[in-house]
Structure formats: structure tokens, C-alpha cells
Amino acid sequence: MIDTSDFRNGLSIILDGTIYTIVEWQHVKPGKGGAFVRTKLKNVRNGAVIDKTFRAGEKMEQAVLDRRKMQYLYNTGDEYVFMDNEDYEQISLPKSELGEQTTKYLKEGMEVEALTHNGMVLGIELPFFMTLEVVETDPGLRGDTASGGSKPATLETGAVVQVPLFISVGDKIKVDTRTDTYLERAKE
């Protein structure tokens, strides 16, 4: 058991049977009344962020999360199959548990980190930055690149990101998977 004085960013707690990670917290001591702790908590399973206020000194259970390297193998409609890199055990997770943000960047054979609690896989974490090939985008017009505009581009995994006008089909680009943003053209 931990209490609010142990809070720090990244700490995982169990609240009403659900595991949350603390995104940010703030200890507040008003002039009148007791102190409290205001937090933003991220649901580990579905990624939803909630605001929650705790009384100072309130106790709760800490969730110990393990990270395991896994390899994404394939998907069968709504089921995504991963293999543990240590014991080669395969697990399948439904698309609803992984979320759209994760599934649109999964590429066969890529390595990901699985968050586990008591042997149960709670979610998958992608690398923050990935190099992917552009498979579909409008051609940029000559002289348009100086204006600094952007256009949508579909990547090899199916994700769509905004890219500069000079990017064309076949280019490899570096993307931030957390924010769906183009970072730079990948160096060959």
C-alpha cells in the first residue's frame, strides 16, 4: 500500500479494480480545510485520461507493472497476435484493447513492449519514433515547397500523417507515433 505522499509521475496504482498510471500530480494546501492531491490518471488498458482528487494521506494499492519485449506477428481481423521474445509463447489481443493509435502503426515483425500485471498483458507500447515508407500521397507541384504547406500521406502501416509538400511516394520518413507527426525524412 502507498499513500499520496508517494505519488510521482509514471507510478502505477490500482483504483476501483483498474490500473492507472499517474501522468501528473499536484499537492494542494488550501488556506481553509485539509490538504489534497489533484491528479491526472491514464488508464493503462484503454489510454483514457481522467482527473481524480485524493485527500492527503489517502492509501491505495500500487500496481507493479512488468515490461516484456514482444514481436508483432500478424492480425486476423480484430485479433492481433504477439510472440514473447523469451519463451516464444503467443498471445492474441483484441483491437478494442489495443486502441486505434497502436494498431495503425503495427508492422509485421516489429518489436514492441508489452505491459503486464500478474502475468496478464494489459497493453502494448510502440517505439516513440518509427521509420516508415510513404505508400500514397499527392504529388507536390514544382515551386510549392517554398510555401511550407503540408499534405496527407498514407504510410505502409495504414497510418495517415501530414507531411511537407516535397515528400513523395516511396520516401521513408520518421514519425512520432504518440502525436502522429512527421519529424524528418529518414536517412538511407
Q: Out of 3.10.20.90, 2.30.30.30, 2.40.10.10, 3.40.630.30, which CATH number does the structure's domain 2-62 have? A: 2.30.30.30
Q: 159 in helix, strand or coil?
A: coil
Residue 101 is inside which H or E element, if any?
A: helix 100-103
Q: Where in the chain is the domain with CATH 2.40.50.140?
A: 66-125, 129-185
State residue 9 phi and psi, 5-degree precision.
-60, 135
Please check whether residue 69 is in contact with residue 88, taking contact to mean a CB–CB distance below 8 angstroms: no
The single-letter DSSP state of residue 78 is T
Q: Out of 3.90.25.10, 3.20.20.370, 3.40.50.300, 2.40.50.140, which CATH number does the structure's domain 66-125 have? A: 2.40.50.140
**pLDDT of res. 145:** 55
**pLDDT of res. 188:** 63
Return the number of other C-beta atoms located less than 10 Å from residue 181's C-beta: 12
Q: 167 in helix, strand or coil?
A: coil
Q: Tens digit of pLDDT per residue, the chain (188 long)? A: 888 888 888 888 888 888 888 888 888 888 888 889 898 988 877 777 889 998 888 888 888 888 888 888 888 888 888 888 888 888 888 877 777 777 788 888 888 888 887 777 777 888 888 888 888 888 766 655 556 678 888 888 888 888 888 888 888 989 888 788 888 887 76
**pLDDT of res. 155:** 87
The fold of 129-185 is OB fold (Dihydrolipoamide Acetyltransferase, E2P) (2.40.50)
**pLDDT of res. 93:** 82
Residue 95 to residue 123: CA distance in whole angstroms? 11
Q: Where in the chain is the domain with CATH 2.30.30.30?
A: 2-62
